[in-house]
A and B are shown apart, each in its own frame.
Chain A
Amino acid sequence: MGMREAGISLAGTLIVVFARFITAVRGRWDGVAPAEEQRIYFANHASHGDFVLIWTVLPRRMRFATRPVAGSDYWLKSSLRRFIGRDVFNAVLIDRDRERRTSDPIVQMTEALDAGSSLIVFPEGTRNTTDARLLPFKSGLFHLAQARPNVALVPVWIDNLNRVMPKGEFVPVPLICTVTFGAALSIAETETKQQFLARAEAALLALSPKASAP
Chain B
Amino acid sequence: MMDLYANLSLGFSIAASPYTLMLAFVGCFVGTIIGALPGLGPSNGVALLIPISFSMGFDAISALVLLTSVYYGAMYGGRISSILLNIPGDEPAMMTTLDGYPMAKQGRAGEALVVSGVASFVGAFLATIGLMLMAPWLARVAFQFGPAEYFALYMLAFCTLGGVGSNNQAKSAIAACIGLGIAMIGLDQTTNMQRFTFGNIHLFDGIDFLVAIVGLFAVSEVFHFIESHGKNSAIGVKLGKVMIPWKMLNDTKGAMLRGSGIGFIAGILPGAGASLGSFLAYMGEKSIASDKETFGKGNPRGVAAPEAGNNAAAGGALIPMLTLGVPGSGTTAVLLALLLTLNITPGPLLFTERPEVVWSLIAALLIANVMLLIMNVPMVKVFVKILSVPSYVLLPGVTMIAFVGIYSLTSSSFELKMMVAFGVLGYVCRKIDIPTVPIILGILLGNAMEDNLRRAMILSDGDWSYLLSSPISIGLWLFAVLGFLAPIFLRKFLKKPPLPTLDED
Do A and B associate with each other? no
A positions within 8 Å CB-CB of B? none
